[in-house]
Amino acid sequence: MCISAIADYFKIDWRTVKECKKYYLKKKLRTVKLKNVSIIGMDEIYIKSQGKEKYITIVRDLKSGAVLYIGDGKEVVSLESFVKKLRHSKAKITATAMDMSKVYISWVNKKLSNTMIVFDHFHVIKLMNDKIAKVRRRVSAGLDEYQRKLLKNQRFLFLRNVENLELDAKLLLDNLRRTFNELDK
């Protein structure tokens, strides 16, 4: 049940339920076993609650899904107590999944030097989509009006997986790639 549903059920203020949940999670996170953890995921989350805005860093065990650590902020200092817990547990972290944050990359390279960094799928795809859009805009800017009309409204055609396209869309994409060579790279 969500916090508000529990509060309604017990006829208490939702803040009381939230505080109980926070107390429970803090207690639970103090005793998380890290020894057998080998693959972790790191990400920051933006939180806006009761007029306060902040980031928190969350580290999870990607095999079990368990939350291993929650730190205030999204800087290296937010991970300092986690690295102490890791050293104390003698965990052997083999891979870390993350976004492309320079802060996280630097931290993993310094503190977990034998760990492989794996960038999450969402951020890799977003980066590639941004690059394709930039090339398409650059090509479009150098075209005459007729050619620009051919290319207009075809952005998503270039971003979709070719395997998922209908036959007519595949033919159109092939035609556009032949016409605009720079978009075929």
- Look up the domain containing 62 and give its range: 33-119
Q: Evaluate the CA torsion angle 43, 47, 53, 56 in order and state its sign.
A: negative
Instruction: Answer with the one of 119, 138, 160 that is the final residue of a domain.
Output: 119
pLDDT reported for residue 179:
80
Q: Are residues 109 and 156 in the same domain?
A: no
Q: Are residues 138 and 79 in the same domain?
A: no
How many Cβ atoms from other residues are within 10 Å of residue 130's Cβ?
A: 10
pLDDT reported for residue 185:
59
Q: Are residues 16 and 46 in the same domain?
A: no
pLDDT reported for residue 184:
66
Q: Are residues 87 and 132 in the same domain?
A: no
Q: What is the C-alpha to C-alpha distance for residues 95 and 80, in angstroms, rounded to an integer?
A: 18
Residue by residue, pLDDT tens for the chain (185 residues) are 888 999 999 999 999 999 998 888 777 766 678 889 999 999 998 888 777 888 999 999 999 988 898 888 888 888 988 988 888 888 899 999 999 989 899 999 999 989 999 998 888 888 888 888 888 888 888 888 888 887 777 777 877 888 888 899 888 888 888 887 777 65
Q: Are residues 44 and 83 in the same domain?
A: yes
Are residues 68 and 125 in contact, defined by beta-carbon separation less than 8 angstroms?
Answer: no
Q: Are residues 152 and 97 in the same domain?
A: no
Q: Are residues 45 and 115 in the same domain?
A: yes
CATH number at residue 37: 3.30.420.10
Are residues 96 and 74 in contact, defined by beta-carbon separation less than 8 angstroms?
Answer: no
Angstrom distances, CA of residue 53 to CA of 14, 71, 72: 20, 15, 11
Give me the residue label for tokens 């952005």: 155
pTM of the model: 0.65
Q: Are residues 114 and 39 in the same domain?
A: yes
Q: Please state the domain count of the chain.
A: 3
Q: Are residues 37 and 102 in the same domain?
A: yes
Q: Are residues 39 and 26 in the same domain?
A: no
pLDDT reported for residue 93:
94
Instruction: Answer with the one of 119, 150, 166 that is the final residue of a domain.
Output: 119
Q: Are residues 105 and 136 in the same domain?
A: no
Q: Are residues 97 and 145 in the same domain?
A: no
Instruction: Answer with the one of 86, 119, 152 that is the final residue of a domain.
Output: 119
